[in-house]
Amino acid sequence: MFDELNFDHFDYGHYYDDGRTFHLLNDTGDGRGKSFVKSYYSEGLCITIDELEYLRKKYCSAESLFGFFTADIAFTDDLPDKVRHRKQMEIGNSFSIGPRIYLFKRYKDYVELSGFGSNIHKHNFYNFCIQSFPILEGFIKYFREEAKDLIEMTKKECVTIAPRSDYQQDNSRYRNFVGYDFSKSQKISLRLTRQEAACLQQLAKGKTFKETAKNLLISPRTVENYIYNAQIKSGCHCVHDLLETFSNLVCR
Q: What are the tens digits of pLDDT across the range 66-106?
A: 554 444 556 676 676 667 777 777 777 776 676 778 888 88
Q: Say if CB 75 and CB 59 are below 8 A apart.
A: yes
Q: Beta strands 67-68 and 100-106: pairing type?
A: antiparallel
Most confident of 8-12, 33-37, 131-135: 8-12
Whether residues 127 and 7 fall in one domain: yes
What pLDDT score does 75 carry?
64
The better pLDDT of the pair 76, 248 is held by 248
Tell me what percent of the residues of the chain surpass a pLDDT of 70: 75
What pLDDT score does 133 carry?
79
Q: Where a domain ends, among 134, 160, 186?
A: 160
Whether residues 144 and 194 fall in one domain: no
Q: Beta strands 67-68 and 159-160: pairing type?
A: unpaired
Q: Does residue 165 form part of some domain?
A: no
Q: Say if CB 188 and CB 245 are below 8 A apart.
A: yes
pLDDT per residue as tens digits for the range 150-199: 999 999 888 887 777 654 445 567 788 888 776 677 788 888 988 888 89
pLDDT band at 131 (very low <50, low <70, confident <90, very high): confident
How many angstroms separate the CA atoms of 165 and 16, rounded? 12
What Rg value do the Cα atoms of the chain yield, rounded?
A: 20
Averaged confidence pLDDT in the chain: 78
> For the chain, what is the domain count?
2
CATH number at residue 30: 3.30.450
Ramachandran quadrant class, 235 (left: phi over 0; alpha: psi -120 to 50; beta: rest):
left
Q: Does the pLDDT value for residue 134 go beyond 50? A: yes
Whether residues 127 and 68 fall in one domain: yes
pLDDT band at 142 (very low <50, low <70, confident <90, very high): very high
Q: What is the pTM of this model?
A: 0.58
Closest by CA to 113, choosing from 48, 160, 167, is 48
What pLDDT score does 71 carry?
43
Q: Does residue 36 form part of some domain?
A: yes
Choose the weakest-confidence range: 38-52, 133-147, 214-228.
38-52
Domain assignment of residue 92, given as a range: 2-160
Beta bridge partners of 170: none
Q: Where a domain ends, among 131, 160, 189?
A: 160
Whether residues 12 and 101 fall in one domain: yes
